Amino acid sequence: MQYELWVLSNLQSYCLPGTHDFLPGESPKGSIRWCAVCLKEEPADESGCMVCDLAGRFEVVLCSNEGRQAEGRLCETCYEAFSRGRALGGWALQYQPQAREMQHEQRRR
């Protein structure tokens, strides 16, 4: 249940997945991009989670109950929440076989 609350909280705090208005920027951590609407920050290489502000590890497609799709990455926490098969905040995971494969590759590194 904690994972689901994390996702719901972030879906309410930030723009919906795939709708950010990202602009380039710099931070002490290096090059970033930040959303001019919700102020979400992520690495400039687009490796951030599309739901929260953690590093994205799994390439997936999310589908909304309104027919929208968003391709991007999910962090381990958000992926775990969506992989339980329930829609969260009107969004659900469209199963992507490569997501699991990426997880195993990253653990080997």
- Output the pLDDT for position 103: 47
pTM over 0.85: no
CA gap 96, 66 in Å, rounded:
20
Query: What are the boundaries of each domain within the chain?
Result: 2-108
- Output the pLDDT for position 93: 92
Q: Which of 52, 46, 48, 40 is nearest to 81 (CA)?
A: 52
Per-residue pLDDT of 36-46, as tens digits, reads 999 999 999 98
- Output the pLDDT for position 108: 47
- Output the pLDDT for position 98: 55
Question: Given the structure tokens 């926490």, which residue do they identify?
Answer: 77
Task: Provide the 10 A C-beta neighbour count for residue 36.
Answer: 10
Residue numbers of the chain with a pLDDT score lower than 70: 95-109
Contact 3, 10 (CB under 8 A): no
- State the amino acid at position 51 in one-letter form: V
- Output the pLDDT for position 71: 93
Contact 94, 69 (CB under 8 A): yes
